[in-house]
Amino acid sequence: MSEKKNPVVTEVEVTTFSQIWLTSLLEFLSGTRAFYFLVGIAALVVLIAAMFAVNAMYTGYRHAYGLTREIPWGILISGYVFFVLTSSGLCIVSSIGHVFGVKSFMPIAKRSVYLSLVTVVAGFTVIFFDLENPFRLLIWNILSPNLTSNIWWMGTLYGAYLFFMALEFLLLLLEKHRYAMLSGLLGLISLIAEVAASSNLGAVFGMLHGREFWYGPYIPIYFIASAAASGCTAIIFFTYLGYKITAEKMDRAMELSLQAVGKIWALFLAVLMFFTTWKIITGFVGGEGKVLALKEWLTGKYALNFWLFEVGFGLLIPFFLLLISGFKNLNQMFVASVFAFIGIFFMRVDLVVVGQIVSHYFEFKVTDFPVILSYKPSIYEIMIIVGAIAFCMMAFLVGEKVFKGHKTEIH
């Protein structure tokens, strides 16, 4: 006990501690009991994030979050978009197998369905702490729906999706062949709900005719392509990790499946590259507000986000790693997916924030607002996002253990 007060000893302990921690992390990948340690840490992070979130709720979001009336949407909305689009992507890619019956996509289906549920729940949790009155939503969404509002459609469709997907997952768990048809139908329904919901989420941005940067049919379409790309990322990331934990030998069907996912991923990455390029090129011949936002995005405060994270981590590195791997080397594909995950998160952040940074009255040379507004996420917002990521990680780990590596194939 007295040793702990000695600074030298503490220092040594800290270094050994970090060593132990690192080895534990590596050990975890081989499926030892470090697994429980990681689940514990994830749970702890979730708990701390929950404390932050509840604290923010009590102090009021105006004080807790770095949001202003000019920029009312911050990284919480980005986080929501990130999670629900990952969920959509998982649903879209896995449904090629279990809804449309393509044999080579079947092995990934079960894990994808589970993770799709987990990520959509994480997304809902994040938005719960962004809405000022989340409980009123439950009442007025039903009693006073505004059918012209994309938010309404998006919320309702994602709710429906969650319901159908949960049912489908239950049926998959029962592993009864006579339910196969029913679960396939449920899968189809949830796929339709999911695609409609994601494009509506895009339309939430795309239909704001007061915001030049977002306005237009671009974002709803972009979101579907982007969702598919992040779905592929998630499948490769989590399947790889799952197999590391259970140390199972990957059978040929699964390998083929991941290769197919990799090919689809490369396709969608290419599509996203086109989307990004043309978004920028068309933007520069547009209105002044859009040009200002684009300039800030490409050369201003968000240049690092754009060039390093979005273009580098999100698009180019995964694309080239995929090409190098020849869609065969799973280790390289996994590394690609790690990069892509980071990149995709920044894509979402930039999409949401850059759309709002140009001041409403910039064209009037107003001294009250700078032309480019600034937004810095507060620790509360960051912690909620970190908590949601930890929740996904925890749910994934627990899922691997409880559902035994999502082994049984869907027939």
Partner 1 sequence: MRKVKILIGTLILLLSFTGIAFVSEKNKGESVKLEEPQEVIYYESEQFGGPEIVYVKPVRGVLFSHKKHVGELGFPCESCHNSLFEMQALKSQENPDFKMEALYQGKYCGACHNGQAAFASNTKCATCHIGVKGLKEYMRKLASKEKK
Partner 2 sequence: MKFIVSRTRVPLWSKGKPCDEAVEEELTPLDYRMVPSIQEAKKKIWFKEWWEGGVNHREENGMIVCEKKQKEKNWVIEINTHEDLIKFQEKYGEIMNLDSPPYKEVKKEIRILRAK
Partner 3 sequence: MFKGIKDWLLNLKNEGVEKVPDETKREFLKIGLIITGVFAGGSLFSVISRVAEGLASSEELHKSYPYKPHYSMVFKIDRCIDCELCMEACRKTNHVPDYGWRTMILRRYDESALDQKTMFMPILCNHCNNPPCVRACPTKATYKDKKTGIVRMAYDKCIGCKTCMVACPYNVRYFNEEKHAVDKCDFCWESRLSKGITITACAEACPAGVRIFGDLSDPGSEVYKLVHQLAKPVWVLKPETGAKPNVFYTIS
By CB under 8 A, is residue 103 in contact with partner 2?
yes
How far, in Å, CA of 10 to CA of 3, rounded?
Answer: 8
Show the tokens assigned to 139: 């009442």
Shortest distance, CB of residue 121 to partner 2, whole angstroms? 24
- Rule CB under 8 A: which residues touch partner 1? 13-14, 17, 20-21, 24, 37, 40-41, 44-45, 48, 51-52, 367-368, 378-380, 383
Residue 150 in the binding site for partner 3 (CB under 8 A):
yes
Residue 288 CB, shortest distance to partner 3, in Å, is 8
Which residues are CB-contacts of 337 (< 8 A; sequence separation ≥ 6)?
233, 234, 236, 237, 240, 318
List the beta bridge partners of residue 358: 372
By CB under 8 A, is residue 246 in contact with partner 2?
A: yes
> Which residues have a Cβ under 8 Å from the Cβ of 374 and sit 6 or more positions away?
301, 357
Q: Which does 37 bind (CB under 5 to 8 A by kind): partner 1, partner 2, partner 3, none?
A: partner 1
Residue from the set 24, 31, 163, 382 that interacts with partner 2 by CB under 8 A: 31
Token pair listed for 367 = 């001294």
Binding partner 3 by CB under 8 A: which of 79, 155, 206, 283? 155
| 3-class DSSP assignment, residue 242 | helix
Is residue 409 helix, strand or coil?
A: coil
Does residue 144 belong to the site contacting partner 3 (CB under 8 A)?
yes
User: 145 touches which of partner 2, partner 3, partner 1, none (CB within 5 to 8 A by kind)?
Assistant: partner 3
| Residue 102 interacts with partner 2 (CB under 8 A): yes or no | yes
Should residue 284 be labelled a site residue for partner 2 when binding is judged by CB under 8 A? no
Residue 247: how many other CB atoms lie within 10 Å: 11
44 binds, among partner 1, partner 3, partner 2, none (CB under 5 to 8 A by kind): partner 1
User: Are 172 and 115 spatial neighbours (Cβ–Cβ below 8 Å)?
Assistant: no
Q: Which does 184 bind (CB under 5 to 8 A by kind): partner 3, partner 1, partner 2, none?
A: partner 2
Task: Choose among partner 2, partner 1, partner 3, none what residue 9 binds, the Cβ cut-off being 5 to 8 Å by kind.
Answer: none
Residue 103 binding result from partner 1, partner 3, partner 2, none, given CB thresholds of 5 to 8 Å by partner type: partner 2
Taking the complex as a whole, how short is the minimal distance between the CB of residue 407 and partner 2, in angstroms? Answer: 9
Residue nearer to partner 1 on the CB measure, 52 or 396 = 52
What residue type is 136 in one-letter code?
R
Taking CB under 8 A as the rule, does residue 404 contact partner 3? no
Q: How does DSSP assign 188-217, residue by residue?
A: HHHHHHHHHHHHHHHHHHHT-TT-TTT-SS
Residues 6+ apart with CB under 8 A from 363: 288, 289
Q: Is residue 127 within 8 Å of 385, Cβ to Cβ?
A: no
Q: Which part of the chain contacts partner 2 (CB under 8 A), choosing from 59-67, 100-108, 116-124, 198-206?
A: 100-108
Cα dihedral 331, 333, 339, 345, rounded to 10, equals -130
30 binds partner 2 (CB under 8 A): yes
Give the nearest distance from C-beta 341 to partner 1 in angstroms.
22
Per-residue CA distances from 120 to 164, 316, 408 (Å):
12, 27, 23
20 binds, among partner 1, partner 3, partner 2, none (CB under 5 to 8 A by kind): partner 1
Contact characters 123-162, partner 2, x per CB under 8 A: ----------------------------------------
| Residue 39 or 204 with smaller CB distance to partner 3 | 204
CA distances from 225 to 200, 228, 343, 403 (A): 14, 5, 15, 30
Kindly determine how many residues on this chain lie close enough to bind partner 2 according to the rule CB under 8 A.
33
Residue 45 interacts, among partner 3, partner 1, partner 2, none and using kind-specific CB cut-offs from 5 to 8 Å, with partner 1
Tell me how far, at minimum, the Cβ of 29 lies from partner 3, in Å: 40
Minimal distance, residue 357 CB to partner 3, in Å: 12
Mutual angle of helices 218-246 and 180-206, in 10-degree steps: 130
Q: Are 119 and 88 spatial neighbours (Cβ–Cβ below 8 Å)?
A: no
When asked if residue 62 is in the footprint of partner 3 (CB under 8 A), the reply is yes
**C-alpha 221, offset from chain centre:** 17
Contacts 24+ apart (CB under 8 A), 99-103: 99/184, 99/187, 99/188, 99/191, 101/184
- Is residue 262 within 8 A of residue 328, CB to CB? The reply is no
Q: Is 256 in the site for partner 2 (CB under 8 A)?
A: yes
Residues that bind partner 2 (CB under 8 A): 30-33, 35-36, 99-104, 177, 180-181, 184-185, 188, 245-249, 251-253, 256, 401, 404-405, 408-409, 411
